[in-house]
A = this chain, B = another copy of it.
Amino acid sequence: MRFRQSLDNALPGQRGPQAATDQSVCLGRMTKEVGMSRRASNLPAPADRGAPAEEPVRRRLLAEATRLFAERGFESTSVQEIVAAAGVTKGAMYHYFGSKDDLLHEIYARVLRLQMERLNRFADAGGPVAERLHAAATDVVVTTVDNLDDSKIFFRSMHQLAPETYRSVRAERRRYHERFRGLVAEGQRDGVFRDDIPAEMVVDFFFGSVHHLGTWYHPDGPLTGKEVGRHFADLLLGSLRP
C-alpha cells in the first residue's frame, strides 16, 4: 500500500472536498475495472475489512503478471507461469481476463490512469510555474520508482498491444505529455524558462530519462526515489534556465 500513502503525503496541499470526492470515485472505479494493483504484499489491507473480498484472484493475477512481465518481458512470460505464480489455474485467469493481451492492457490502463491523475493535481496546484513543474517532475520520478515494474513494462511491451489498444494507449500518453508540456510552455511564455528549445522536445528529453529509471534504479540502492526525483527535477529546471 505504499501507493496510497504516497498519494496521501505527496499531493500539493489543501484540496477542497470535491477533490477528495474525485479521488475516491476514481479509486472506486479502479477497483472495478482493473483491480487495485495493491501489491502482492502480505501486509493486511485495511480497506478489505468489511468490504467483500473484491476479487483477490484477479488482483493476484494482475500483480504476478506485472512482476513477471517486468522481469522477463511479455512474450517470454507464459500464461502458465502467471497462473502458477498467482496460485490459480488457467481457467481462472480466463474467467477474469479475456486473453493474455487483456492482462497487459489492464496494466497499461492502470498506469495511465494513475499518472494522469497525479499530474493533474500538481499542474492544477497554485504557485509559480517553476515550482509546479519541479514538484510534478519530482513526483513522476517518485511514482515511477514506486511502480518500477509498470514502468519497465510500459515501453518494452507497448508494441505487443493490439493495434487499437496501442493507439488508445498512445493517445492517452500523448495527452499526458501535452499536459506536462503546457507547464514548460507556460514558463517559456513567462520568460522564466529558455525558449530556444521546443517545449515538446524538453518533454521528450525529460520523460526519456524517467522511463529509463527501470534500467538502472534499484529500490535498495543508495538513493531513495525522492532523492532521485529531486535530482532529476533539478536537472530539468537547470536545463531550462534562460
User: Which chain A residues have a beta carbon within 8 Å of chain B's beta carbons?
Assistant: 72-76, 155-156, 159-160, 194, 196-198, 201-202, 204-213, 215-216, 228, 231-232, 234-236, 238-241
Inter-chain contacts of A160 with B (CB < 8 A): 73, 76
Q: List 15 A-B contacts (CB under 8 A).
A: A72-B159, A75-B75, A156-B156, A156-B159, A194-B238, A197-B235, A201-B228, A201-B232, A204-B212, A204-B216, A205-B231, A208-B213, A208-B215, A235-B239, A238-B240
Give Cα A62–Cα B46 distance, bound, in whole angstroms.
48
Q: Decide: A236 and B238 in contact? CB cutoff 8 A.
A: no
A113 CB to nearest B CB, Å: 20
- For A234, the chain B residues whose CB sits under 8 A away are 196-197, 239
For A72, the chain B residues whose CB sits under 8 A away are 159
Q: Contact between B201 and A231 (Cβ–Cβ < 8 Å)? A: yes
Is A235 in contact with B73, judged by CB distance below 8 angstroms?
Answer: no
Excluding A155-B212, A197-B235, 16 further A-B contacts by CB distance (< 8 Å) are A73-B160, A74-B75, A75-B76, A76-B159, A196-B234, A197-B231, A201-B232, A202-B235, A204-B212, A208-B209, A208-B210, A208-B211, A208-B212, A208-B213, A211-B212, A241-B241
- Give A76 to B104 CA distance when docked, in angstroms: 15
Residues of chain B within 8 A (CB-CB) of A236 are 239
Whole-angstrom distance between the alpha carbons of A239 and B239 in the complex? 4
Q: Are A73 and B159 in contact (CB under 8 A)?
A: yes
Q: Which residue of B lies closest to A202 (CB)?
A: B235
Given contacts A73-B75, A156-B155, contact A207 B202 (CB under 8 A): no
User: Which residues from chain B contact A155 at a C-beta distance below 8 Å?
Assistant: 155-156, 212, 215
Contact B204–A209 (Cβ < 8 Å) = yes
Which 3 residue pairs are nearest across A and B when measured between Cβ atoms?
A208-B212, A75-B75, A239-B239
Could you tell me if A205 and B209 are in contact, using CB atoms closer than 8 angstroms? Answer: yes
* Residues from chain B with Cβ under 8 Å of A76 in the complex: 75, 159-160
Name the residue on B nearest A194 (C-beta).
Answer: B238
